[in-house]
Chain A
Amino acid sequence: MFDIFQEAIVVSMLAASLRIATPLLLASIGELVVQRAGIWNLGIEGTMLMATYVAYVTAISSDSLMLGVLAAIIAGIAMNMVMALAATTFKINQFVTGLGLNLFAAGTTLFLYREALALYGTGNVKTIDPFDNLLIPLLSLLPYVGTILFSQQFLTYFAFLMVPVVWFFLYRTRYGLEIRSLGENPKALDTKGLSVSVRQYCALAFGGAMTGLAGAFLVLALTDRFVPGMTGGRGWLAVVIIIAGNWKPVPITFAVLVFAFLEAFQLQAQGIGIQIPYQVLLALPYVVAIIAMMGFRMRSEQPAHLGIPYHRE
């Protein structure tokens, strides 16, 4: 009896890990392409938050989850276009611009949230019906694996599918090669007559779309309503994950799974009453992030020109 109980916990914890991994993976894989293109975008947290808000508002007002997803993608791209304008066209310090975007998203969404609350009253916060799980025929019937891997939401499948897609794009296509050389040596590209800024805009648009999807997933699949600051540092964790994953898609995926498992463990530990202050468990991902940075000295794949604006001399 006790064994069955434990099994159920492990299975649900692993399934939850994949669910929790989804927004982290979407954002990290998107940001990977951005960083490979030489832009150190620290605005992911804000882009994601803005996308969650837009997804929520669109979904409740249109009664369509897919429209919510679409709106989140557009919001993500729009936020990253500000970053592109600043980093590529104006060549402004990328760190400060990213921070500015984060603060902008935090302030704006909080303001709009409070105004809506004042309008509708605290008791009448609209909730959405989150996405249903998409059961893969036959495979979802498998014991354990079926529940863990094949009874997830469609965006979770999509996120994991994007890992080989982005890997293939970066390492097996000409455009991917161009993006990678942007981060290493933009001058080489420029002297060949290939536009640096067009490629950086495209990379940021892709990153914005992926971060937008991450935001949509947070609000339309993991919960049922928008709460101010609900991204809770996930965008920053994506930055950590890329460094820990040494700017490579597969190690990044592993890093995502580690952080997701930590969070799933924390949720589960609260449920079964483990005698640790819950704040310790909540702080764990951030502590682990710092420790992971200490451990991972390997930075062989860090783009040499990351975060440095390209000036044509």
Chain B
Amino acid sequence: MARTLSFEKRPTPAWLASLTSTSVAILLALLASSVLLWIVGVDVVEAFHAMALGAFGDLDSIYGTCVKAIPLAFAGLATGIAFRAKIWNIGQEGQVFAGAMLGYWLSSSVDLPGIAFLPLLVVAGFVGGAALGGLAGVLKTRFRVDEIVSTVMMNYIIVFVLSYLLTSRLWMAPGEYYLQTAQIPETERIPTLLAGTKLTLAFPLAIAAVFAIHILLSRTTFGYELRAFGSNPDAARFKGTDPSRMSVIVLIISGGLAGLGGVSQTFGVDFRISQGFLLGLGSTGIIVGVIAGLRPLAIGVAAILFGGMAQGGLFMQVIADVSSAIVAAMQAIILIFFLCSSVLSRYRLVWKS
């Protein structure tokens, strides 16, 4: 009798298998990235050593890692809440820009002391991202435009809007050569927690957001409704969930979270907007959300890990003379291996006769 190898569903979802598969994925991804480094003739051990040192080597690098983790946590949460509801918001990239841009517009049009400005800034960041998310929600529910398509298109459109605001000199300081906005005045920046670092008030805000979304998803009726909607929209409709309303609300929250990521980066780290500063935060957030299994608390941990890679990448660029662009490649490779190995935690290979 011919025996074939095939997948069979595991009787119980095994958390041990899940943890193992994630670790295996990261190891395999490191291996694959080593190949990339090896191709361009880099000392692989030295490079990874530099990266680890730059990420978690001393107190300063740990602060740096935490700073880098802030926008990733927000964009990761944006992914988590949307994908849990099976709403495929992949516009985090554009929503990060929109949040930062509305924040910048606010900062350039009002003149308030920091205490009064900061709450408004948080609102502006959320509203900026939520506007793009909400627009995708309306397009989805009223006009049947796939949110995948609309959010991706908006990622491109918003960058052209920024480019227009800069080249038309509306947002550029007089005499400025680079395509970037004027600097944000010191009174309107997010205050730092520790002098000499860029660890700002945004860090505890990000932690609060992680716990808030955790509680929202697992402890509230709305969270239950959202998860039910994600696993079976038809059944959820019978129980009284309005699918259109749910889709729009999820996209608003998701977009808003990404927008907060943008504000935290611009007003806490860069103090001005340029296309390069914000590029990639949203898409890295998608990876963070997915490899954390869309679970908010795990997203917090994954954001620190990925923030560490970003911070360590900069150190590696200086020490080992490797372009920090390797970090983006590594993160995507981790995602792909994670997706493949996650199958092994849900299924097992069996010989069938």
Contact = CB atoms under 8 A, between A and B. Distances in A.
Contact of A91 (B152, B327, B333, B343): B343
Contact of B329 (A107, A236, A279): A107
Nearest to B328: A107
A111 B152 CA distance: 23
Nearest to B333: A104
Interface stretch (B159-167, B245-253, B256-264): B159-167
B200 interface: no
B161 A86 contact: no
B145 A294 contact: yes
A279 B335 CA distance: 33
A54 interface: no
Given A236-B152, A277-B164, A290-B153, A112 B343 contact: no
A190 to B, nearest CB: 14
B150 A103 contact: no
Interface in A253-281: 277, 279-280
Nearest to A117: B323
A139 interface: no
Interface stretch (B51-59, B118-126, B211-219, B283-291): B283-291
Contacts of B321: 118
A279 B287 contact: no
Given A112-B40, A277-B164, A293-B145, A107 B343 contact: no
Contacts, number: 133
B153 A286 contact: yes
Interface residues of A, number: 44
Contact of A118 (B287, B323, B335): B323
A103 B343 contact: no
Interface in A148-180: none
A279 B143 contact: no
A239 B325 contact: no
Contacts of A286: 153-154, 156-157
A240 interface: yes
Contacts of B327: 107
A115 interface: yes
Given A243-B149, A279-B164, A286-B156, A115 B40 contact: yes
Contacts of B167: 277, 279
B114 to A, nearest CB: 33
A96 B139 contact: no
Given A92-B339, A279-B163, A111 B326 contact: yes
Contacts of A294: 139, 143-145
Interface in B202-254: none
A104 B283 CA distance: 11
A82 interface: yes
A185 interface: no
Interface in A90-113: 90-93, 95-97, 99-101, 103-104, 106-108, 110-113
Which of B167, B336, B342 is most buried by chain A, counting CB atoms within 10 A of its CB?
A: B336
Nearest to A115: B40
Contacts of A236: 149, 152-153
B131 interface: no
Contact of A111 (B88, B328, B335, B342): B328
Interface of A: 42, 82, 85-86, 90-93, 95-97, 99-101, 103-104, 106-108, 110-115, 118, 232-233, 236, 239-240, 243, 277, 279-280, 282-283, 286-287, 289-290, 293-294, 297
